[in-house]
Amino acid sequence: MHNHFDCHDLLGSLSDYLDGEARQELCRAIETHMAECPNCRIVVDTLKKTIYLVHATAESQLPDDVRARLYKTLELTDYLK
């Protein structure tokens, strides 16, 4: 793991991190970076909330087309797979 973990690295690793698939050292790098970078903290917070919302709606009775539109709006089409 290189020392300078920047915003670009964080964004690139984010989906693994949020899926719980990132290696421990990567998680630590992300968390260290977030502690120092308010921007990334906001991005990660927002994404976590969004993913929570997506899971919540996935279990609800939302019609498929509405759900698809919501996912698309949130640019989360990756999570539809």
Give the binding site for Zn ion (CB under 5 A). 7, 37, 40
CB of 51 to Zn ion, least distance (A): 19
Q: How far apart are CA 68 and CA 77, in angstroms?
A: 8
Pair of tokens at residue 25: 């050292």
Q: Which amino acid is at 55?
A: H
Closer CB to Zn ion, 42 or 53, in the complex: 42
Q: Are 2 and 32 in contact (CB under 8 A)?
A: no
Residue 40: CB minimum distance to Zn ion, A: 3
- Shortest Å distance, C-beta 11 to Zn ion: 8
